[in-house]
Structure 1
Amino acid sequence: MNHIFMTKESITESDSLYNNLEEKSVRELLECIHDEDRKVLPAVHQTIPQIEELVLQIVERVKKGGRLFYVGAGTSGRLGILDASEIPPTYGVGYDIVIGLIAGGDQAIRKAVEAAEDNEELGWKDLQSFNINELDTVVGIAASGRTPYVIGALREARKNGILTGCITNNPNSELADNADVAIEAIVGPEFVSGSTRMKSGTSQKLILNMITTTLMIKLGRVKGNRMVNMQLTNEKLVQRGTRMIMEELGFDEDKSRRLLLIHGSVNKVLEAYDKN
Structure 2
Amino acid sequence: MAKKPSVEFVLRPFEGLPGEPDWVALREVVPAATAPVRTTKEHGARDVVITTVLPAGWLALHRTDGTVLVALQNNAGSGDASRDVAAVLLAALELEPGSPLETAPPVEPGPRLQDVLDLSVPFEVTVHEGFDYWLGSDAEITSEVTASLEEANATIVPTRKLTAVDAAYWCRMGAREYLRWAMPHDEQQMIDALARLHAERESGIGDARFVGYFRACGVVVPVWDLAPGTEAEELEKPAQEFLTRFDRALADTSALDPAARRARAGLVARQVTLR
The TM-score, its normalising length taken from structure 1, stands at 0.26
Higher helix share: 1
Higher strand share: 2
The TM-score, its normalising length taken from structure 2, stands at 0.27
Choose between structure 1 and 2 for higher RCO, CA contacts under 8 A separated by at least 6 residues. 1
